[in-house]
Structure 1
Amino acid sequence: MPTSLSSGGRSPTPNKEDGSDAIPSLRGDDREHIHPIDPKVLRRATLKTDLYLIPIVGMFYLLSFLDRSNIGNARVAGLTKSLHMTTNQFSTALTITYVPYILMELPMNLLMKRLGANVTLPIMVVLWGMVCACQGAVHSYHGLLVCRFFLGALEGGLFPGIVLLLSTFYKRHAMQVRFAMMFSVTSLAGAFSGILAFGIQNLHGKRGIAGWQWIFILEGVFTVVFGLVTCFLVPASPRNIKFLTEEEREAYCRDLADDWSGDADTDGKYDEVFRWSEVASAFTDAPHVLMLALPLFFSGVTLFGLANFTPTIVSALGHSPNRTQLLTVPPYACSFVFSIVSAYLCDKYKNRGVMATFCALLAAAGYAIFLGSKDKNTDYGALYLQIIGSYAIAPCLSTWNANNVQPHYRRATAVAIAFVATNIGGIVSTWLFTDLRGSIKQPALTWHSRSAWQ
């Protein structure tokens, strides 16, 4: 068996993507005494891992995105009217979610290394689901602020934690398809959010509870139940996947180790010793991490802005609340398909930058059409380009970042840096996308004074 890639000392960063091969984990002398990996066994092990792990983490992220962005649907269903909130107060409620979300990303990533993803991820899901349901019980703006703060704090470590988990279970050039499968559920979250809100808001008045309150309560309760179930399902490491045979597990872990894929050769107990120098090295020795932080910031601006304000944007085109909820579904459904196809191409050709650039241009074209058009049907069509481009670029950038940093603690820090940048963009988006009325255009690229919207 190959030795662990994470040995406690600082390991060299693997060769970068887009032009060079991964550093092998075995020396030539060692390879002569190792039997070659059976491709059929490896394919079988990979398929089993995909069918088991991806649906779980995909549902985690779907529920995270759904529970964080369903406030947009609740707004259409009467949230701001019931709580007597101004537009600026609604933006403040969105902003306060991202502050603890950002602060918790790095600590939770480091904590996950200690406790294991099989412990931290399900617990986070259960706790934020409880907070989401509590939003349905608030009777004031300040009560909503408290709930949004704790929602952000408890969700903060999920996304970087999932990326870190996937980078442990998959090879560098096989990761983006799996990451896109997980991340593209944000598109499904946007679609499901509209469908669920359409159905749930019809419960308005049942048991004296408003439709917007039912949205929070029912979606939060489902999250809690799913989190409790997965406490018994999430594996701690590739060597802890119980449904693989010993032959499959051996082949799978050896293949990961040969690709220099982090912590594959462990038994759920990591050999790497935590050092603050490894955390600091993500800032000092890996300039590409900081370089990717800038496009990730702008990705966060567009992505989270669309997630929170798509229902408002569609509503401003003159549609009824029920029709608005349904019209938010098709753009996200198209985005889901495009994200999977683009991720497959990135992994096949081992190139992220070209696709990231294309997605950015696609989103920019959508905003340009929207801002320049005077026809509401064209405005709605432009929303497709915005959502497809914004949602497909994130897997490219996130996988690119995670693939090029080793060992575990340095990679954990790099992943956290990436999502801090993304969520700072999310904070900015809460003030760029403001209330839309009639023919007023989506202020996606310009700031507006506070008094202009009061």
Structure 2
Amino acid sequence: MRQQPKDDVQAAHVEGLPSEKVITSGDIATQLVDIFNQSNITPEQDNQCLRRIDLVLMPVMFLSFAVQYLDKACLTSAALFGIVEDLDLYQVSSIGGTFTVSTQRYGYCSLIFYWGYLIGLLPGVYFAQRFPLGKYVAIVMFLWGGVTVCTVAVDSYHGLLAQRFFLGVTEAGIAPAFSLITAMWYKRREQPLRFAIWFSATGISVLVGSLIFYGIGHIQGRLPAWRYQFMVIGCFSSVWGVCLWFLLPDSPLTAFFLSRDMRVVAVERMRQEQIGIENKRVKWDQVREAFEDPKTYFCVVMLFAINLANGAASGFGSIIVQSFGFTTLRTILLLSVAGVFVFVFTLSTGLISVFWRNARCYSAMFCCLPVIAGAVMIWRSDWQTTKAVSLWGFFMLPVFAGTQVMILSLVAANTAGHTKKAVTSGLVWASYSTSNGVAPLLVKTQETASHYPSAFIPIIAMMSLVFILLGIYRVYIFSLNEKRDSVRLVDRDEAVRTGFLDITDRENENFRYQA
């Protein structure tokens, strides 16, 4: 068994514990379980603890992620209420006497958010590991709410570019933090559904947010309608950030909604998972391993390929649907229907993966197919005579969210060692932001007549690639398990000792991967 470094010493700072108690440990979880010496919990205790955790964490994380997506989606709605014209986000050019309107500037404002997101990921991942997670998320949300409100004062294209960049920087920490929180609180078989729950908030955000934006857009005031949209959403984000300071715990050790005994159960139920809970010490050998692990690159490539569809489904969704010939009101209502598809498919994949063991790759592969079909339907259909076909194709594009959630759950389930988890999570979200930073460039309004081939051909190709990579990933994962089983089977007694040593999945001989 791997020995822990001698300098990895932490003091217990848990309510009800003697503060002078000092233990040698790889994970903060041992502050509880080593002192109370409880290694066995009953199924009833496990289920009761899980219900309490779900009752608090899932609504809080769901609403938080929904609010974050509202901030990003606000630009799409503002495009229908005059921001393109007011800030000169379009350009008119004449070629051979034919005038064309390019919304390339609008595309830049959409994509620069994700380049800011990419820049903010490095400090975001570092702070998420070094500081209390709950407090960190609360501060981040309060700050990004303030940056959103600043949009009200923007009066030029360049000003909007700067605002969107810093909005991306401030929001960068939330998704990696939520990935770490899910891995910290939930067993690996429980994680797909929990990832699906908080990520499905994007669908509800589109559904409800479209209606909210439409209502705000009809405010008759001194300011243009789109400025009120950013004002309301930004203020709500900051207020919710203050609430999170009190609602989102930093770890199971400090959860206000768990009794002392239940905190021990919350920690102990994670021991057999072999992925630990939290460690504030950055381990550079784990950083190196994250970059050397082939699994990391599988997920990085797949996340990049998937999110090319987001440029059409989210960034330019309102413009594409309006190209089908719908009015502004009808476009907003139809965008909300797309949110229902996200919600239903995301939750469905999560449920299937909980009740069907090792079904994550299969669920992710299944969700690739509607996206491919939808892109083909939009690209090749006749918008004038078969408007319904192109519309249903658009509804199917956001189903990529189901594939994304399954890949995120695979990252959490198959990565052990807290520093390695943080770095791997940061890398996959960096891939996400890079892809979203490129995707809007593929949607060219000059190609409206030819149905945006520069956008939909790459989407078809990339989703097909993801389908193939998921199959290869599944074979690779099971080959690793078979190799380990051929050497030695899992030793349950030793697994109890290695569960909280904060060692990586490669170092831990008792670790088995899931697909």
TM-score by length of structure 2 reads 0.76
Distance in 2 separating the partners of 1:262 and 1:131: 35
2:155 aligned counterpart, secondary structure: coil
> Deviation of residue 77 (structure 1)?
1.1
Cα separation, 1, equivalents of 2:373 and 2:427? 28
The question of whether the paired residues in 2 share the 8 Å contact of 1:5 and 1:257 is answered with no
Q: Deviations over 1:202-240 (max 9, x none)?
A: 01x41x111111111111111111111111121111121
Partner of 1:417: 427
Structure 1 residue aligned with 2:48, among 37, 41, 44? 44
Q: AA paired with 1:379?
A: S
SS, match of residue 197 in structure 2:
helix
The structure 1 residue matched to 2:396, chosen from 385, 390, 393, is: 385
Match of 2:480 in 1: none
| 1:68-87 correspondence runs (5 A) | 68-86=72-90, 87=103
Which whole-Å CA distance do the structure 2 matches of 1:112 and 1:78 have between them?
Answer: 38
Cα-to-partner distance string for 1:22-73 (whole Å, 9 max, x where unaligned):
xxx99xxx9xx95631212211111111110111122221111110121011
The verdict on how the C-alpha distance between 1:288 and 1:171 changes in structure 2, with shifts beyond 3 A counting, is same
CA contact (8 A) 1:132 1:151 kept: yes
Is structure 2 residue 187 aligned with structure 1 residue 171? yes
> 2:112 touches 2:164 (CA, 8 Å); kept in 1?
yes
Contact 2:275 2:415 in 1 (8 A): no
Match of 1:187 in 2: 203
Structure 1 SS opposite 2:247:
coil
**1:351 and 2:362 equivalent?**
no
Find the aligned partners of 2:73 and 2:315 in 1 and give their Cα distance.
5
How much does 1:437 deviate? 7.7
Selected match of 2:329 from 310, 319, 322: 322
CA positional deviation for 1:148: 0.5
Specify the structure having the higher radius of gyration (Cα): 2
CA separation in 2, counterparts of 1:227 and 1:423? 23
* Contact 1:371–1:442 under 8 Å retained in 2: yes
Deviation at 1:257, TM superposition (A): 1.4
- Alpha-carbon RMSD: 2.3
CA contact under 8 A between 1:58 and 1:183: conserved in structure 2?
Answer: yes
Q: Is the 8 A contact 1:163 1:402 kept in 2?
A: yes
Question: Does the alignment pair 1:335 with 2:342?
Answer: yes
1:216 paired residue number: 230
Q: Which has the higher contact order (CA 8 A, sep 6+)?
A: 1
- 1:111 partnered with 2:133: no
Match of residue 65 from structure 2: 61
**Helix, strand or coil at the partner of 2:217:** helix
> Equivalent residues in 2 for 1:303-318 (5 A)?
303-318=310-325
Give the CA deviation at 1:439.
4.4
Q: Do residues 361 (structure 1) and 372 (structure 2) align?
A: no
1:149 Cα deviation (Å)?
A: 1.0
Q: Give unmatched runs, 5+ long, in structure 1.
A: 10-24, 265-269, 448-454
Mapped partners of 1:343, 1:288: distance in 2: 21
Letter in 1 for 2:195: F
Counterpart of 1:267 in structure 2 is: none
One-letter code aligned to 1:214 = Y
For residue 237 of structure 1, what is the aligned residue in structure 2? 251
Change beyond 3 A, Cα 1:7–1:364: farther
Amino acid at match of 2:283: R
1:294 aligns with 2:301: yes
Contact (CA 8 Å) 1:5, 1:262: kept in 2 or not? no
Match of 2:435, as an amino acid? G
Change (3 A) 1:218 1:38: same
Amino acid at match of 2:361: G
- Report the CA distance shift for 1:219/1:117 in structure 2 as closer, same or farther (over 3 A): same
Residues 110, 409 of structure 1: 8 Å contact kept? no
Q: Displacement of 1:246 after TM fit? A: 2.8
Label 1:95 to 1:8 Cα distance change in 2 as closer, same or farther (>3 A). farther
Deviating above 3 A after TM superposition, structure 1's stretches of 4 or more consecutive aligned residues are 4-9, 33-36, 436-440
Cα distance in structure 1, aligned partners of 2:131 and 2:6: 18
Tell me by how many angstroms 1:338 deviates. Answer: 1.9
Q: Could you tell me which residue of structure 1 aligns to residue 272 of structure 2?
A: 258
**Cα pair distance change 1:385/1:314, threshold 3 Å:** same
Q: Following the alignment from structure 2 to structure 1, what is the Cα–Cα distance between the partners of residues 5 and 128?
A: 16
Deviates more, 1:245-254 or 1:51-60: 245-254
In the alignment, the residues of structure 1 paired with residue 74 and residue 6 of structure 2 have an alpha-carbon distance, to the nearest angstrom, of 43
Q: Structure 1 residues 70, 35: CA separation in 2 closer, same or farther (over 3 Å shift)?
A: closer
- In structure 1, distance between residues paired with 2:177 and 2:330: 36
Letter in 2 for 1:288: K
Taking a change above 3 Å as real, the CA distance of residues 8 and 56 of structure 1, as seen in their structure-2 partners, is farther
Distance change (3 Å), C-alpha of 1:66 and 1:317: same
1:214–1:401 distance in 2 versus 1, CA, 3 Å: same
Q: Give the letter aligned to residue 329 of structure 1.
A: S
Q: Residues 69 and 35 from structure 1, CA distance in 2 versus in 1: closer, same or farther, beyond 3 angstroms?
A: closer
Output the amino acid matched with 1:238: P
